[in-house]
Structure 1
Amino acid sequence: MASREVVVGIDDSPSGRAALRWAVEYARATDRPLHVLHVITPMMDAPVVWSPGFAGMAAQHDPATAEVERAKIRTMFNQAGPKPAWQLEFVQGPAGLRLVGKSEHASLLVIGTHEHVGLGRILQGSVSHYCLSHAQCPVVAVPPTFDEAGAQHDVTAHDMTPSGL
């Protein structure tokens, strides 16, 4: 049985901020609890030349860097004016897997979309594609948008309404 909770995955990127903004507006409009999730993915540390039998090794983020990242995410969450029932959670692991797991019983999963192309897509994969393919609840994928000057700005829930499309 699905809960009323809305899960949103965020990072400190234009699409991550757009996803948070959209989820906040949706949660407020529908009076639903919001679960904000920031996934810290272990980075890969591998040699320049990969050889058979040595695929590199996983390394955790530097603790100081990870704390700076968490502080930025906490600031984003606090600027959204969270309701008392809303929560912010930090987890480690593969982002798609963690987001799908957290949203297993949610009413909605909100994610941002990133522009990974070519080698970046092969190496990092697509979290949004994974979520769209594996989530057990509806998924809203929120892209950043570009204005006429080419500057990136965030999409709001208003921009995603039928009149804003």
Structure 2
Amino acid sequence: MDETVCRRVVVGVSSSQGSLTPLHRAAAEARRIEGELWAVLAWEPPGGELGHRSLPCPPRAAECRSSAGERLCLALDAAFGSGGPGVPLRRLVVRGSPGRVLVETGGREDDLLVVGTGSRRWAHRVLGPSVARYCLAHASCPVLAVPPSPLEKELGAVRRSIIWRLPLDTRELTGPVRPRSGKGEAS
């Protein structure tokens, strides 16, 4: 292998909280192999390519791309803060479907493609195509599929409780209560 070619860890980024876990894992892998982190956000026009063309006054592609670039910057800031990931970082905003864009970007055999597995809820699996499954089926490089953080599931339950105005016991969010030991307390 040519040593002048830098190894790359390509990671799919979305504007959802679910992309934070794959971003952190990808940065850790890039540090481990002393490679570059390529953060990729794929975008499509509103309504998809066909729907976009049929709109009477479609938004300009430059505006859509700019908005996607802003979402990528916000996601990276949310994941790493101002300090960055601690490895060389390349940001890519590419027009196209996420699975296809990621497979094409991670097209070298020595690349590592990192994708989130997304929601495991049946509605999401039925209604939307899985980017992770597409990448696993079509990539020419190794693919690391990262499951969602357990915290993400808990936060989703809290959001649903708030939306449906269900009672919310905040003690469940803090973990088990441990008795305090100190002066002046009864044993």
Shared fold (TM-score, shorter chain, > 0.5)? yes
Aligned partner of 1:112 among 112, 116, 121 = 116
Number of residues of Structure 1 aligned to a counterpart in Structure 2: 142
Identity of aligned residues (%): 30
CA 1:75–1:118: 2 relative to 1, 3 Å: closer
Q: SS of the counterpart of 2:119?
A: coil
Q: Following superposition of structure 1 onto structure 2, how do residues 133-148 of structure 1 map, counting pairs within 5 Å?
A: 133-147=137-151
Matches within 5 A, 1:9-48: 9-44=12-47
Task: Answer yes or no: is 1:126 the counterpart of 2:119.
Answer: no
Structure-1 residue corresponding to 2:166:
none
- Deviations along 1:14-73, one digit per CA (max 9) or x if unpaired, are 22111111111221232111111100033437xxxxxxxxxx932178566664443232
Q: Which residue number in structure 2 is paired with residue 95 of structure 1?
A: 98
Aligned twin of 1:73? 72
Structure having the higher Rg: 2
Deviates more, 1:125-134 or 1:60-69: 60-69
Q: Distance in 1 between matches of 2:17 and 2:43?
A: 17
Q: Secondary structure of 2:145's match?
A: strand
| 8 A Cα contact 1:104 1:137, kept in partner | yes
**Residue 134 and residue 81 in structure 1: after superposition, are their counterparts in 2 closer, same or farther (change >3 A)?**
same
Secondary structure of 1:115's aligned partner = coil
Gaps of 5+ in 1: 46-55, 153-165
- 1:33 corresponds to which letter in structure 2? E
Could you tell me which amino acid in structure 2 is paired with residue 71 of structure 1? Answer: E
2:10 paired residue among 3, 7, 26: 7
Q: Give the aligned CA root-mean-square deviation in angstroms.
A: 3.2
Q: CA deviation at 1:89?
A: 0.5
Larger fraction in strand: 1
Greater helix share, structure number: 2
C-alpha distance 116-69 of structure 1, shift in aligned 2 (>3 A): farther
Q: Distance in 1 between matches of 2:46 and 2:121?
A: 19
TM-aligned CA distance change 1:117 to 1:147, over 3 Å:
closer
Whether the aligned pair in 2 keeps the contact of 1:15 and 1:142 (CA below 8 Å) is no
1:151 aligns with 2:144: no
CA 96–143 in structure 1, closer or farther in 2 if over 3 Å, else same: same
